[in-house]
Amino acid sequence: MSQPVTFIDAGGNRAQYTVFEKDHRNEYYWSTDYGDHGLAPSFAQAQDRARAVLKASMAASRRSDRGQR
């Protein structure tokens, strides 16, 4: 089972992260639309980490988009 969450930044850009159920090692796997992923010891920490990484990835993408104009 997994819980996908859509994040919308201040600019109206949307991206998604997903936190999965606890695995056999009692860790929660998370991943983002940008290909980032990781593990956390609790569901709340997995959400926090996924959201923080997603925000950073979205910001980096916006910066690179501006540089190409």
Q: Could you read off the pLDDT of 21-49 as tens digits, one per residue? A: 999 999 999 999 999 999 999 999 999 99
pLDDT at 4: 92
Q: How far apart are CA 27 and CA 13, in angstroms?
A: 30
Query: Has residue 69 got a pLDDT over 60?
Result: no
Q: Could you read off the pLDDT of 1-26 as tens digits, one per residue? A: 788 999 888 878 899 999 999 999 99
Q: Taking the model in full, what pTM does it have?
A: 0.80
pLDDT at 65: 65
Is residue 55 within 8 A of residue 63, CB to CB? The reply is no
Q: How far apart are CA 68 and CA 57, in angstroms?
A: 17
**Cβ-proximal residues to 46 (8 Å cutoff; 6+ apart), any chain:** 19, 28, 29, 30, 38, 39, 40
